[in-house]
Amino acid sequence: MRAPIPDWLGPGLLVVLLSASCGGSGGAGGAAFKGRFSIGVDLPLSGAEASQGRTVLNGVRFAVDEANRGGGVAGYQVAVVDLDDVVGDVHNADKGAENARALVANPEVLGMVGPYNSNVALAQVPITNQAHMAQISPANANECLTKDIPSCRGQASAIRPAGLNTYFRVVSTSDVEGPIVIDYAHDALGLERIAFGSDGELYGRGVADQAARQLAARGGQAVDRRDFDPQARTDYRAWLRQARADGAQAVYFGGTDSTGACLVRAQMKETFPAAAPEIGGGLVTPKCLTDGGDNAVGMLGDTNSADPNQTAQGRAWLTRYRRSFPAAADLGSYTVQAYTATAALLDAIGRAARAAGGALPSRDQVVGQVARTRSFDSPLGRISFDRNGDVVPQVVSLYESRRPTAAEAKVAPSCTPDRSLCWVFRRQLSRG
């Protein structure tokens, strides 16, 4: 019996999986693989971000396992080459660049999934671009990686030395993520004065800037805007005291748990009422809930994509995923995005192989097919890539940190190990 083909697969990959599953031995239904190729992965797999990075890698491996059980991609077995970009406990752009060079030098690697952090992408994209290798990120949000808008000062073009686009992502950009969440905070929560801080890194600084500008555009006031040293990430109390004295009703912080974003929440207890939220992207992780201490309830965090529990196909994907990865810690806030990025890359490789008469395609041919991705049926819904490599539509999911019901804990993207505190879905926001 042939392994079941997931319903979400787009027509291109579905065709190559079906055609690869007939006859021989070694693939689905005993079919022999006619060869092998690899996809590269770069993520933070150790240190402070290990728990998040590992759940992202789970999504990659699950997509590859499903493809191989279905007969491979165009009859070829898929292998994964995963590399860790952590140095000294946190993600490191130089290490990410080293990993990108290693993947580019490996002739078996036809494309790449990652990285997780935007500043690592900034170091990697010129390398993968020069090699004409497709790269799809499951998490990068900084808008200047893809958009030549005035505030980016030509960065997107500067990191594409080959003169073509090879970088794509399945998540929304910071110039959508920050403003759309601030619109919600302003309109639904009535917040007019918000303190804005960041960890000073590419993602954190960028999303905080975009959010602060949006609040001002809506007639509110950005209070005490400040960027912190990501290596220090310990004491925000003086800034929080000043912000509260200046009338801040809430705090928006751009950063990640590895750079201290959620220590802010713990320290807010000294100066802000419990009902005053910390808001931001990069917060929806188990470590953030722990770092918030006894003040962890009441944060508003977002992921810059759709929540899979909101659609039938997303829920079906979660059911399949949990059969392979049943532990609570196996699912993270960017697992489904990693699966989607991988599935989109494999779909493009399959289409490129069919166009090449069944032969393994070149990296250039893969890039061309990724760029042509339209209405790809994924657990995040139907997605496309625009001419910049950005996903369409742009969706943001908002979560609240709180004590969940049993049903909420079962589907939450991140919880503490005992599941007494989780990120619970609150609202889905979209543009485009």
Q: Do 391 and 171 form a contact (C-beta atoms < 8 A)? A: yes
**22/13 Cα distance (integer angstroms):** 15
Res 85: pLDDT: 98
Domain covering 11-171+308-392, topology: Rossmann fold (3.40.50)
Res 422: pLDDT: 97
3-state per-residue secondary structure call for the chain = CCCCCCCCCCHHHHHHHHHHCCCCCCCHHHCCCCEEEEEEEEECCCHHHHHHHHHHHHHHHHHHHHHHHCCCECCEEEEEEEEECEECCEECHHHHHHHHHHHHHCCCEEEEECCCCHHHHHHHHHHHHHCCCEEEECCCCCHHHCCCCHHHCCHHHHCCCCCCCCEEECCCCHHHHHHHHHHHHHHCCCCCEEEEEECCCHHHHHHHHHHHHHHHHCCCEEEEEEECCCCCCCCCHHHHHHHHHCCCCEEEEECCHHHCCCHHHHHHCCCCCCCCCEEEECCCCHHHHHHCHHHCCCCEEEECCCCHHHCHHHHHHHHHHHHHCCCHHHCCCCHHHHHHHHHHHHHHHHHHHHHCCCCCCCHHHHHHHHHCCCCEEECCEEEEECCCCCEECEEEEEEEEECCCHHHHHHCCCECCCCCCEEEEEEEEEEC
Task: Quote the crossing angle between the two packed helices 50-69 and 312-324, to the nearest 10°.
Answer: 100
**330/332 Cα distance (integer angstroms):** 7
Res 140: pLDDT: 98
Asked whether the bond before 115 is cis by omega within 30 degrees of 0, the reply is yes
Q: Do 284 and 303 form a contact (C-beta atoms < 8 A)? A: yes
**298/286 Cα distance (integer angstroms):** 15
Number of residues written out for the chain? 432
Q: What is the signed CA dihedral for 408, 409, 414, 415, rounded to 10 degrees? A: 140
Nearest Cα to Cα of residue 195 among 252, 141, 277 = 252
Q: Do 124 and 135 form a contact (C-beta atoms < 8 A)? A: yes
Q: Do 89 and 287 form a contact (C-beta atoms < 8 A)? A: no
- AA letter at 229: D
**What does the block give as tokens for 220?**
């509110």
Q: Do 150 and 127 form a contact (C-beta atoms < 8 A)? A: no
CA angle centred on 359, ends 355 and 360, rounded to 5°: 100
Q: Do 171 and 147 form a contact (C-beta atoms < 8 A)? A: no
Q: Which CATH superfamily is domain 174-303+395-431 in?
A: Response regulator (3.40.50.2300)
pLDDT tens digits for the chain (432 residues)? Answer: 333 444 434 333 333 333 333 333 355 555 699 999 999 999 999 998 899 999 999 999 999 999 999 999 999 999 999 999 999 999 999 999 999 999 999 999 999 999 999 999 999 999 999 999 999 999 999 999 999 999 999 999 999 999 999 999 999 999 999 999 999 999 999 999 999 999 999 999 999 999 999 999 999 999 999 999 987 767 999 999 999 999 999 999 999 998 999 999 999 999 999 999 999 999 999 999 999 999 999 999 999 999 999 999 999 999 999 999 999 899 999 999 999 999 999 999 999 999 999 999 999 999 999 999 999 999 999 999 999 999 999 999 999 999 999 999 989 999 999 999 999 999 999 975
Res 349: pLDDT: 98
Strand pairing category for 376-378 and 381-385 = antiparallel
Query: To which residue do tokens 């625009």 refer?
Result: 386
Res 43: pLDDT: 98
**66/43 Cα distance (integer angstroms):** 21
Res 14: pLDDT: 35
Handedness of CA 126, 128, 129, 135 (dihedral sign): negative
Strand partners, 76: 35, 73
Residues of the chain with CATH 3.40.50.2300: 11-171+308-392, 174-303+395-431
Provide the whole-model pTM: 0.92
Dihedrals phi, psi of 19, to nearest 5 degrees: -70, -25
